[in-house]
Chain A
């Protein structure tokens, strides 16, 4: 009886010790840690491509291939996004019917602030992207919102990115469980396989950047939003971040979400945060 009791106690304490030893690790794995995630994310790319300068990752496929980079630098002399940039500048300075302008809706009159988007809005409890903020500005001033996937929106963000070129991405995650949840949700979306082709965003842009799918070179996920919006030759036009996400989903035969749905906003939050420190390079040009 006594031996059995001591055996029981012994195994109980062994179990407790085992629990005490393993539980901190379990907690660590469960904890949302954006700082550690961002560091691991960046290091993965830096180690995979030791010859690519860190600030060069924002140039997407051009950072992966010297020939393409040369072609691109030549193209940049007459950039295909220039018409959108001019249109955006014009739109930005044209007052709404009520006499106000976009500048009234943004810090610093909207100039040089692209690197702070998206941000977590504590009042709304959600991520607010630049595209969303622009349409909210329009609606607050009695104007119709623009399509998230068409030229007007891309022109506006092109201009705002241009005034922010070179500034390091600077996304904040406030000490708010909802902000951490948004980051985690975006991360989950990014790594989850979906659609008939069974790809996650990461399948192409983490596992296979620099590889070719037919003639196209896959862009690294690191800094992929820093060059947005982009002129894509494949689209014969400009594309917003919303358009990019939707196209990625439909090309992998997944069901695209609504532009600016919570999940897309969260993915943008995740991807932008892990690119903190890399320069804004938008508007960009891509094949």
Chain B
């Protein structure tokens, strides 16, 4: 008897937290997109073609199908954090190592990149 009133409460709580997580994911994607286009932050568009970005640069590869190319998000994070580790000749700035972006910002950009 006591368990019955609890059930809807749990369901409501679960539904609430699920939609909150969904909204949060959406907002990090939006944040990531903003950071990726921001000249003072990620500024990815300066070197990469990104869907929805005007006047992209041509130095880096187009950013698309990244979820297929890098199924493990840690790989994408590592590239943004410090690509010189993998490729010493790269033009790509070490966004994490040189504190151009925080880890949270990099994570938001990875969320955005995975939608491309």
List chain A positions with a Cβ less than 8 A from chain B.
196-199, 203-204, 207-208, 211-215
Contacts and interface: CB of A to CB of B under 8 A. Distances in A.
A103 B91 CA distance: 45
Contacts of B89: 207
A211 B58 contact: yes
B46 A213 contact: yes
Interface stretch (B2-10, B12-20, B92-100, B102-110): B92-100
A211 B98 contact: no
B71 interface: no
Give the interface SS of chain B, mostly helix, strand, loop or mixed.
loop
B100 A212 contact: no
Contacts of A213: 46-47, 57, 59
B35 interface: no
Given A207-B91, A208-B91, A214-B46, A197 B100 contact: yes
B79 to A, nearest CB: 14
A214 B93 contact: no
A196 B98 contact: yes
A212 B91 contact: no
17 contacts: A196-B93, A196-B99, A196-B100, A197-B93, A197-B98, A197-B100, A198-B93, A198-B94, A199-B93, A204-B91, A208-B59, A211-B57, A211-B58, A211-B59, A213-B46, A214-B46, A214-B57
Contacts of A197: 93, 98, 100
